[in-house]
RNA sequence: GGUCACGUGGCCGAGUGGCUAGGCAGAGGUCUGCAAAACCUCGUACAGCGGUUCGACUCCGCUCGUGACCUCCA
């Protein structure tokens, strides 16, 4: 048996816009940082897509033998709502609207976020730091940036001096921006008189009296700039230069650009070796976003209680739907696509469940190793889950054919295929079996078996009217009967 | 306006300079008392117009269309 080549992994580094071989700086350790949610409202499906993509990255790196430290933050300090600096941020606004303490808002939506992550079977990160838990470190980073001369204090706030930094180190490399173009496109300059350049961004912001979340600092009462927390927490836990930093495409500029500038200004180190950006989930071709209000919450998705949903879909259907598309492509959400995914997933799972019952042949007509190799190749090629899933469906065909006695597979081949499916379907893609199967509900199983028995008797006496009535009635109740050579089986539909 | 993507068969979505993606739906077939499931076969798709090439869906240019970022967003 030829050995399957499980490495090297390649990923598209958005810093270079090229697919590169992934070589960790300190193997087998890998440092992975992903920008987490701002917890001022419910997460929607677009957020879920991003975190699911990185969940698969985390699972894959782990699967091919790396020891991954996965850091994903919780942004629990509100960002200002606009440049107008009216002293209000999203969390404060939410707190006022819901008559809650800001930290109650934070807790509420953090809990909700965790519940959603679990619902979609996303693994917990190794560390989940919060911005409020790292105030001291953020103040210290501001001080280091001030000391390096790339920031200035103005009226109780501290701003990052973008033009000065750009002159020395260059700015905009990640997102492909040029300083002149950025300046030419600057809009809305009112309320920015504290800044020397409209491109400058706050790394510490003076708090208005009505601002709810604020802390003492060397520059007065205020709160940290919103790019700062990621710079602080990523480097604190992963080192001044770490392997992979991920996030949604919409964070590329300015958020990630600013992170790079801050780290270089503060510590003289380029913080990230590989940047990975996931694309957006769209609805009718438009980005799903909180501000557009076109997002579904997971509850609405499962219940189907939303004007754009024909009916509900299970979390695993949605996860599978997402993984049938490459992370770097936009994915358009539609009922038809969801329904297709639902059926495909059910076929994949049905075949997976057949694996333990396959009867081995003396010889094998199938090259399972080749299939396995194609799965590894697909995943190592920039996490190409759609191609890997396509290979899995080749496996489904094999499993069903063997089950039908149309193809022979020896015990070794069955074992190898079982291991492959176990690894890819459950460990790597992170899919789970859903719903009550026959084995999980003894009463139901007993009742259905009794009906199957009655129907068999009716069939034996060629009373097909009765046997069909039993089958049709059960189907109406969501129980599908399947006649096979070995007898009748059932499953929920 | 600037920058950058994308436009694949009924739908969703991979991919590649010449060789089958895959899923769902549809058609025909095998099996079955009939179904369901499963398996087999099928559609010759790559926005349009030029160019490069022996050959382009894949490279280049233009046109049209859509979207993202430039402001909080995954």
The integer distance in angstroms from the CA atom of A185 to the C1' atom of B70 is 7
Query: A16-37 pLDDT, tens per residue?
Result: 988 999 999 999 999 999 999 9
CATH fold for domain A10-278: Rossmann fold (3.40.50)
Lowest mean pLDDT among A88-97, A273-282, A424-433, A437-446: A437-446
Query: A306-347 pLDDT, tens per residue?
Result: 888 888 999 999 999 999 999 999 999 899 999 999 999 999
Please say whether the dihedral angle defined by the alpha carbons of residues A240, A241, A243 and A248, taken in this order, is positive or negative.
positive
- Per-residue pLDDT, averaged over A218-231, amounts to 95
The residues, ordered by sequence, that sit 6+ positions from A322 with a Cβ below 8 Å of its Cβ are: A48, A49, A52, A53, A281, A331
Residue A181: which nucleotide is closest by CA–C1'? Answer: B2
Q: How many whole angstroms separate alpha carbon A270 and alpha carbon A262?
A: 9
The integer distance in angstroms from the CA atom of A437 to the C1' atom of B61 is 58
Q: How many whole angstroms separate alpha carbon A238 and alpha carbon A125?
A: 13
CB atoms within 10 A of CB A37: 22
Q: How many whole angstroms separate alpha carbon A37 and alpha carbon A198?
A: 26
Read off the tokens for A251: 């964070």
ipTM for the complex shown = 0.95
Domain boundaries along the sequence of chain A: 10-278, 311-428, 438-492
User: Quick check: helix, strand or coil at residue A269?
Assistant: coil
Our separate counts of H helices and E strands in chain A read: 16, 15
Residue A78: which nucleotide is closest by CA–C1'? Answer: B72
Instruction: Label residue A434 by pLDDT band (50, 70, 90).
Output: confident
As ranges, strand B nucleotides with an atom below 7 A of a protein CB are 1-5, 10-15, 21-25, 32-40, 66-74
Burial of A455 (0-12, 13-18, 19+ CB in 10 A): buried
Residue A188: which nucleotide is closest by CA–C1'? Answer: B71
Are A434 and A386 spatial neighbours (Cβ–Cβ below 8 Å)?
no
Say yes or no to pLDDT of A85 above 50: no
What does the pLDDT read at residue A188? 52
Q: Tokens 């990523």 map to which residue?
A: A234
Q: Tokens 């105030």 map to which residue?
A: A135
């Amino acid at each position: 048996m030829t050995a399957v080549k499980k490495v090297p992994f390649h990923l598209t580094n958005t810093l270079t816009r090229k697919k590169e071989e992934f070589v960790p700086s300190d193997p087998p350790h890998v440092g992975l940082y992903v920008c987490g949610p701002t917890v001022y409202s419910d997460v929607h499906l677009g957020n879920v897509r991003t975190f699911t993509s990185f969940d698969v990255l985390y699972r894959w790196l782990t699967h091919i033998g790396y020891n991954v430290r996965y850091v994903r933050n919780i942004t629990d300090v509100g960002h200002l709502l606009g440049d107008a600096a009216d002293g209000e941020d999203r969390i404060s606004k939410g707190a006022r609207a819901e008559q809650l303490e800001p930290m109650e808002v934070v807790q509420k939506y953090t809990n909700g976020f965790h519940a959603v992550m679990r619902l979609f079977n996303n693994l917990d990160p190794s560390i989940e730091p919060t911005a409020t838990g790292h105030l001291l470190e953020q103040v210290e980073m501001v001080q280091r940036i001030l000391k390096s001369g790339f920031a200035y204090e103005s009226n109780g706030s501290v701003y990052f001096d973008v033009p000065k930094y750009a002159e020395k180190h260059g700015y905009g490399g990640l997102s492909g921006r040029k300083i002149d173009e950025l300046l030419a496109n600057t809009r809305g300059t009112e309320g920015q008189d504290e800044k020397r350049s409209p491109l400058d961004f706050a790394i510490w912001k003076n708090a208005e009296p009505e601002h709810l979340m604020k802390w003492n600092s060397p520059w007065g009462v205020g709160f940290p700039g919103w790019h700062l927390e990621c710079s602080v927490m990523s480097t604190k836990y992963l080192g001044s230069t770490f392997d992979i930093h991920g996030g949604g495409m919409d964070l590329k500029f300015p958020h990630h650009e600013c992170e790079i500038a801050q780290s270089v200004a503060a510590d003289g180190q380029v913080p990230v070796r590989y940047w990975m950006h996931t694309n957006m989930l769209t609805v009718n071709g438009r980005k799903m976003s909180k501000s557009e209000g076109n997002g579904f919450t997971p509850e609405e998705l499962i219940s189907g209680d939303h004007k754009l949903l024909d009916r509900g879909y299970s979390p695993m259907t949605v996860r599978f739907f997402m993984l049938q598309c490459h992370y770097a492509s936009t994915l358009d959400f539609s009922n038809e696509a969801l329904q297709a995914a639902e059926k495909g997933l059910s076929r994949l799972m049905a075949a997976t469940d057949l694996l333990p019952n396959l009867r081995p042949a003396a010889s094998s007509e199938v090259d399972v190793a080749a299939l396995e190799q194609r799965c590894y190749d697909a995943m190592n090629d920039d996490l190409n889950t759609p191609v890997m899933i396509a290979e899995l469906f080749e496996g489904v065909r094999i499993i069903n054919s063997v089950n039908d006695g149309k193809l022979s597979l020896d015990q070794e081949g069955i074992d190898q295929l079982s291991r492959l499916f176990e690894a890819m379907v459950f460990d790597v893609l992170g899919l789970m079996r859903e719903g009550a199967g026959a084995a999980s509900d003894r009463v139901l199983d007993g009742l259905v078996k009794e009906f199957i028995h009655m129907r068999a008797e009716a069939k034996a006496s060629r009373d097909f009217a009765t046997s069909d009535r039993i089958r049709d009635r059960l189907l109406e109740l969501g129980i599908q009967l399947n006649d096979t050579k070995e007898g009748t089986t059932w499953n929920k539909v």
